[in-house]
Structures are given as structure tokens and as C-alpha cells.
Amino acid sequence: MSTTLTEQGTVTLGADLTAATLLSPADVVRVARDGARVELSPDVAQAISASRRTIKGLAETGDPHYGISTGFGALATTFIDPAQRTQLQQSLIRSHAAGSGPEVEREVIRALMLLRLKTLATGRTGVRLETAQTYADLLNAGITPVVREYGSLGCSGDLAPLSHCALAAMGEGQVRDKTGTLRDSADALADAGIEPLVLVEKEGLALINGTDGMLGMLLLALHDIRMLLRTADIAAALSVESLLGTDRVFAADLQSLRPQIGQARSAANLRALLNGSPIVASHRGPEDPSVQDSYSLRCTPQVHGAARDTAAHAASVADAELASAVDNPVVTPDGRVESNGNFHGAPVGYVLDFLAIAAADVASMSERRTDRHLDPSRNKGLSAFLAHDAGVDSGLMIAQYTAAGIVSELKRLAVPASVDSIPSSAMQEDHVSMGWSAARKLRRAVDGLTRVLAIEVMTACRSLDLRAPLQPGAATGAVLARVRESVDGPGSDRIVADEIEAVVELVRSGRIVNAAETETGELQ
């Protein structure tokens, strides 16, 4: 878990849902990971005040209105006396803050809080301005509520995770301050000069009814997956080159025969990465004994492209969610307060599962390329396991085991969570999305893909070294040089784990992509 935040500019939230710049995916990453400040634009106060007047008017009538003067869930028909409504909202948060298990990562919680604040700012929830401002103040102070792994079914919002955030805003429960120190919420808020919230009608419900947790994790995953798919193309190019494969299959005219968008982009990357490679040129022509490369080399654009298209679809769903005000009941622009089902996480849950499938398949293909490097019957003249002295040395034999183990785990993580549903709240909430669970396993899948690609990059770079005196192309050579700054070249056996972790960090930080792009320009 990260313990520090570095402030990176300011993100301003507005009230207009139709604005294309209401909140961008990049804004979410900046606030969640980089500590960007959050401000509310002037139009937010007007929008929030208007919806609050609507709620106050309904609260003053003798009629039951869900979330304002009634209980919740299966208790929605229970009328609550005005004298007990503050207690009603406070009790809602305390009872729903029922998470269990390990702490959720800081970046996820910050994304979740920002996305809830984004909905509050639209004036569709009926909260007071000070309630929305408190969430901005918590984010800007670097105060992060402790949220637990388990508790959300992805329907009626990410109830337990969001409740733990609301609890912290009330000055209850535990938080981590900007240094990562675990503290009581009341003490952390006092040190930051933040007054704890005393919730009034509708506010407790408004703070916990949303897809914010699963959406936050989707946006963070998409940010990482876009970089990893470019890394996957780089890893594949390293393998095609060092395994004496052909680049002819990536030709634009061949790819255009199947006009899949992602496929075309991946193939264009591979052409750019292999452009001018002396190794590829060394066996190009009639003397090349290879008729066709294996699928894991030849079909790279088809698989990596399909993953890109899946990510593009997921991004379109995320964009729609970013333009949403998810709450129940919701205050409409004409002043009605209406129950709805917009909190259901199915749209987000589905694409989270789709991305886990794509991550597993891209990693599976990468692991197969890694394995080809190590097999003397398939690696075209390289030593067994790329060992310095095969027999005495084992080379990268067990690095492939590690990749294989991760790929096996990724296949298990690819089993969809969103096809499951378990009824809750005395059968009132009888169909749920499990979107939070889909998001949690996708985060693990993204980490696994990162590691599998790192192992391929490390392995292919050793193969390139062993092809000397033949030289790689400019782009792959730049990647090789960057890896060699962190990991030594071929030689007698040494601790492989340290080298894997070093290359994992190069992949995760984007430095592998940066190295290639110094020669190719921006990859697609």
C-alpha cells in the first residue's frame, strides 16, 4: 500500500452531466494515484442547493418518501418520525459499514470517494453543500478511510465500501493519514481542520448508492491495460526477432483483409518495432527454412488486437458511467424524487470480467512465446533454457514455471463474477451484479499480466544477446539496452527472482514502452 501522495495539480468538478469534461478517466487516475487536489466549481453550489430544497420540502410533509422518511431496503415501508431521521441516517452508515478482510488499496478508495463526490456535485442526490465539500476536503488532506476487501455485492451501490468512507466523514472508524499512518478518524479530521458530518435526511443513502468502487477500479485497470498492451506488442516483437521469426505476416495489406481495429493497431506497432532489424533481415528470403511461425508469434496482432477492442468497449462503458449521477432515489431536474435501478452494477461488472478474460489470454500467449525461447528444439540454435552451461546451469527454466503458474491463476480469475447473483435484504435485493468482486479479481489479473510480460521481455532480451554478432533493430535494441541497465546479460546462474522483479518494475512504470517509443514514436 502506498504511504505517500504527491500533489499533481487540481481537478475541478462541475454540476453539468452533459459536459464532456465533467470528469475524465485521466482525472480519476491523477486524484487516485498522484494526489491531485479536488475543487467544486461555482455551479455546484447552485445545483446542490436546488436539490436540497426539494428534499427538505418532502421531509416536512407527513407522507412517506424512501430514504427521507422511511427505512431502507426491506424496511422501505417503515415510516420514521422526524425526530429520529438524523439517527436514521447515522445508523444506516454504521450498520452498512460491515466490511471484512484485508484493507483495500489507497488508490482504489480515493477513486471511489472522488466518483461519489462527482455524483454529489451534480445536484441529483439531495445532499447539502457542506457534505460534498467534506469529501473534497478529505481527499485534499490525504485522509483515506479504511475500507475492507469484502462487503459489496455490486448492487444498491458498493454499499459497505462507500459506508466506510461515509463513516470516516462522520468522524468515526479508522483512516490512514497522508503519511499512511493508521489513525482514528476523529483525530485525523481534527488535525486537518475538518468538521465531522452530522447527516440529515437522505444524506446517508446518497453517500452509499453508487457503482463508484467498481468504476474506480475499472478506470485504474484501463489506464494500466493500455500501457500493458503496448508492452505486449514490444515483448512479442522481441520474441519474433530473437526467435528468427518473420515480420511479413504483419504487413498492412494482410491485416486489412480482416479489418478489426485493434488488430490493425497491434500489427502497426509490430511493424514499427521490427523495422530495419538486422536480425530479421538476416534470414529473410528463399533461404529461410521456416514456412510459418507458430501461432504465438504469427497471430500476435489477432490476440493483442482483440484485447484492445475489448478495452475500447470497456472504456465506452466507463465513459457513460462518468457521465452518470447514480443514486436511489434520485432528484430529477424538474424536482421529482424517484426510485430507480441505476445503482445496479451489471454494465460495469460485465466489462470488468471481459477485461480479465483478455488479460488471461494475452498472458497465455506471452508465456507460450517465453517457453519457445527455452526449448532447443524450437529456439533455432540457442542453448537449452538459454543457460550459460546447460546442465550445470538451469538458465531461465524456472522463470517459465513462474509465468506458467501466473497464467494458470489468470485463467481462474477469468471465470466471470458477474454471472453470479446471491439474494440479500430479505429478498428485496434479489439480483445483484457482483461487480465489486469482478473489479477485485481484475486488479489481480492486471498484476499477473504485468509479471508474465516482464518474464517474456527478460527472456527475449537474453535471446537477443545470444544472437550476437547479429544486432537487433533500433526499437528492440533500445528496450534491450534499458533492460540491461537493471539486469545483467547472459552468464552463469544467479538469483532469478531479483531480475524478474527488476523487469516487472520496468514494465509497470512504463519504462519499457518509453524505451521503445524513443525510436518508434508513440505506439498505438
pLDDT (average), residues 320-330: 90
The per-residue pLDDT for 19 is: 54
Measured between alpha carbons, how far is 197 from 448 in angstroms, rounded to an integer?
Answer: 40
The answer to whether residue 397 scores a pLDDT higher than 70 is yes
Question: Residue 363: which pLDDT band, with cuts at 50, 70 and 90?
Answer: very high
The per-residue pLDDT for 289 is: 64
The per-residue pLDDT for 18 is: 61
The per-residue pLDDT for 287 is: 66
The answer to whether residue 391 scores a pLDDT higher than 80 is yes
The per-residue pLDDT for 350 is: 97
Beta strands 100-103 and 148-150 are antiparallel
pLDDT (average), residues 88-92: 89
Question: Residue 57: which pLDDT band, with cuts at 50, 70 and 90?
Answer: confident
Contact 123, 331 (CB under 8 A): yes
Distant-in-sequence, close-in-space partners of 223: CB < 8 Å, separation ≥ 6? 25, 26, 29
Measured between alpha carbons, how far is 17 from 323 in angstroms, rounded to an integer?
Answer: 6
Measured between alpha carbons, how far is 56 from 503 in angstroms, rounded to an integer?
Answer: 57
474-488 residue pLDDT tens:
999 999 999 999 999
The per-residue pLDDT for 154 is: 82
The per-residue pLDDT for 3 is: 37
The per-residue pLDDT for 5 is: 52
Chain mean pLDDT for the chain: 92
The answer to whether residue 369 scores a pLDDT higher than 80 is yes
CATH number attached to the domain at 217-520: 1.20.200.10
Q: Decide: residue 153, CB within 10 A, 0-12 exposed, 13-18 middle, 19+ buried.
A: buried
Contact 479, 515 (CB under 8 A): yes
The per-residue pLDDT for 4 is: 44
pLDDT (average), residues 107-112: 98
CATH superfamily of 10-210: Fumarase/aspartase (N-terminal domain) (1.10.275.10)
Full-model pTM: 0.94
Domain boundaries, the chain: 10-210, 217-520
pLDDT (average), residues 250-275: 98
Measured between alpha carbons, how far is 484 from 422 in angstroms, rounded to an integer?
Answer: 51
**H or E element that contains 148:** strand 148-150
52 SS3 class:
helix
The active-site residue out of 66, 135, 150, 295 is: 66
Pull the grid cell for residue 144.
483515506
**Is 66 part of the annotated catalytic residue set?**
yes
2-48 residue pLDDT tens:
334 555 789 999 887 665 446 899 999 999 999 999 999 999 999 99
Provide the residue count of the chain.
524
Residues of the chain with pLDDT > 70, as a percent, come to 95
The answer to whether residue 1 scores a pLDDT higher than 70 is no
427-450 residue pLDDT tens:
777 788 889 999 999 999 999 999
The per-residue pLDDT for 78 is: 73
19 vs 340, residue with greater confidence = 340
Beta strands 148-150 and 182-184 are unpaired
pLDDT (average), residues 283-289: 73
356 vs 333, residue with greater confidence = 356
352 SS3 class:
helix
Measured between alpha carbons, how far is 394 from 376 in angstroms, rounded to an integer?
Answer: 13
Measured between alpha carbons, how far is 232 from 219 in angstroms, rounded to an integer?
Answer: 20
The per-residue pLDDT for 144 is: 98
Which DSSP string do the residues of 152-204 spell out, in sequence order? --SSSSSHHHHHHHHHHHTT-SEEE-TT--EEEHHHHHHHHT-PPP---TTHH
The answer to whether residue 101 scores a pLDDT higher than 60 is yes
129-147 residue pLDDT tens:
999 999 999 999 999 999 9
